[in-house]
């Protein structure tokens, strides 16, 4: 079986980062850390935000957590009251919804179809905001669709939010360094500086630096919000691993050559998958602008029959068929609240992706479709 369900780079963590962790451990950096992050890593995050995102944050405006997901959880737990609404542009990373539900909030999915590039529009945002809206959660670039927002897109969203002083925005920018076709990244807080006090910028080292197992995420925002998030974290996990924080500091402070190399590799893999999908009758894929996923349209397969006569009723059936007939693990679009699509990770090697796409093509070709025969199934 080829598992394309997990979004994890197949690269090893760069050596200078591993050496920094080893040095920290040998130096005795093995005691309880400050809840909101070590002084060195917080300073590195402040410098990173200024250098790469043109964002000015003080040390008291930064928190370090056990992965970006905990930063998001901390923010929601610190601010949500029962019944508060959180706007989620669909398709979205499914655990956003779970976090909101766990904390008594109400997730509000706003459909962002392929014709809009899977992006939230100002019109869609305006129509979703109510008196109960507390947060809008953006993902730039997005998982699962690789959607990329232009400066104009971000400004138009900011113009809508300017009229709603209670609404905060969480901008998850974990994939910021994985952009294709010469695109340049801009943080939401940089695009909408008038909203900065109501924006939490979330990031981490997992994706860009191939450090998924180190579990370090960080956030920048208003000092009152960060202080509340630190209180939440103190009761859940306390501070993140000191050795992992030393490694993350080395990642942010050190050479960025490997980040650029990883991005070029991800772009080549994106190109391979786009080309392969173009040759499979029944599947569609607009080239993702960033991240390392392909959100593949499978509308033409709905209603088809397997060789055993089972009807493909939805994208969950499509992924079940790919698993059965091709040994390919993928995730149905329904998991991201936008169908009919399925997501595969393009973080695997080109050799693995080439084999996987051949299997997908073979599995799809076995389905009997009315459009192929001109007769009803």
Beta strands (DSSP E) in 168-306 are 168-172, 199-204, 217-220, 293-297
With CA atoms as reference, report the closest residue to 334 among 99, 148, 127, 144. 144
Task: Give the Cα separation of 296 and 343 in Å (integer).
Answer: 6
- Domains recognised in the chain with CATH numbers: 2-8+258-373 (3.90.1150.10), 15-253 (3.40.640.10)
The H or E element containing residue 294 is strand 293-297
Mean pLDDT, residues 20-28 taken together: 98
**How much is the mean pLDDT over the chain?**
97
With contact defined as beta carbons under 8 Å apart, do 171 and 187 qualify?
yes
Task: Give the Cα separation of 355 and 1 in Å (integer).
Answer: 11
Say whether pLDDT at 367 is over 70.
yes
Mean pLDDT, residues 37-57 taken together: 98
pTM of structure:
0.95
Which residue is listed with tokens 């607009």? Answer: 286
Task: Give the Cα separation of 136 and 198 in Å (integer).
Answer: 10
pLDDT tens sequence across 304-357:
999 999 999 999 999 999 999 999 999 999 999 999 999 999 999 999 999 999
Mean pLDDT, residues 127-149 taken together: 98
Coil, helix or strand at residue 282: coil
pLDDT (0 to 100) of residue 375: 43
The two tokens of residue 165 are: 């002083």
Say whether pLDDT at 374 is over 50.
no
Say whether pLDDT at 245 is over 70.
yes
Mean pLDDT, residues 211-228 taken together: 98
Say whether pLDDT at 35 is over 70.
yes
Mean pLDDT, residues 176-201 taken together: 98
Say whether pLDDT at 85 is over 90.
yes
Nearest-10 Cα torsion for 39, 44, 49, 51: 140
Say whether pLDDT at 144 is over 60.
yes
pLDDT (0 to 100) of residue 376: 40
pLDDT (0 to 100) of residue 370: 74
Residue 231 pLDDT class (50, 70, 90 cuts): very high
pLDDT (0 to 100) of residue 373: 44
Task: Give the Cα separation of 345 and 3 in Å (integer).
Answer: 9
């Amino acid at each position: 079986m080829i598992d394309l369900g997990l979004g994890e780079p197949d690269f090893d963590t760069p050596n200078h980062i591993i050496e920094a962790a080893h040095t920290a451990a040998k130096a005795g950096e093995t005691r309880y850390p400050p809840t909101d992050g070590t002084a060195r890593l917080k300073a590195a995050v402040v410098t990173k935000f200024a250098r790469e995102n043109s964002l000015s944050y003080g040390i008291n405006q930064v928190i370090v957590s056990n992965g970006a997901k905990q930063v998001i959880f901390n923010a929601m737990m610190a601010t949500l009251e029962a019944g508060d609404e959180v706007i989620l542009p669909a398709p979205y990373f499914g655990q956003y919804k779970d976090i909101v539900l766990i904390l008594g909030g109400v997730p509000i999915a706003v459909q962002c179809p392929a014709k809009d590039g899977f992006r939230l529009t100002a019109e869609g945002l305006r129509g979703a905001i109510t008196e109960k809206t507390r947060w809008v959660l953006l993902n730039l670039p997005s998982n699962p669709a690789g959607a990329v927002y232009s400066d104009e897109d971000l400004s138009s969203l900011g113009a809508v939010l300017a009229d709603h002083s209670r609404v905060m925005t969480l901008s998850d920018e974990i994939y910021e360094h994985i952009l294709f076709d010469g695109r340049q990244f801009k943080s939401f807080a940089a695009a909408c500086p008038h909203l900065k006090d109501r924006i939490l910028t979330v990031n981490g080292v997992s994706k860009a630096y191939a450090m998924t197992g180190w579990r370090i995420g960080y956030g920048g925002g208003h000092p009152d919000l960060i202080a509340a998030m630190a209180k939440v974290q103190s009761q859940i996990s306390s501070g993140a691993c000191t050795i992992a924080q030393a490694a993350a500091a080395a990642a942010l402070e050190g050479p960025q050559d490997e980040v650029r190399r990883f991005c070029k590799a991800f772009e080549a893999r994106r190109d391979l998958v786009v080309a392969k999908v173009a040759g499979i009758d029944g599947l569609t894929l607009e080239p993702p602008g960033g991240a390392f996923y392909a959100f593949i349209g499978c509308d033409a397969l709905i209603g088809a029959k397997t060789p055993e006569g089972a009807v493909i009723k939805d994208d969950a059936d499509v992924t079940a068929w790919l698993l059965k007939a091709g040994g390919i693990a993928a995730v149905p679009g329904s998991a991201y609240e936008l169908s009919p699509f399925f997501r595969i990770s393009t973080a695997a090697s080109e050799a693995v992706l080439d084999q996987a796409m051949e299997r997908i093509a073979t599995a799809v070709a076995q389905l009997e479709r009315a459009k192929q025969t001109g007769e009803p199934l």
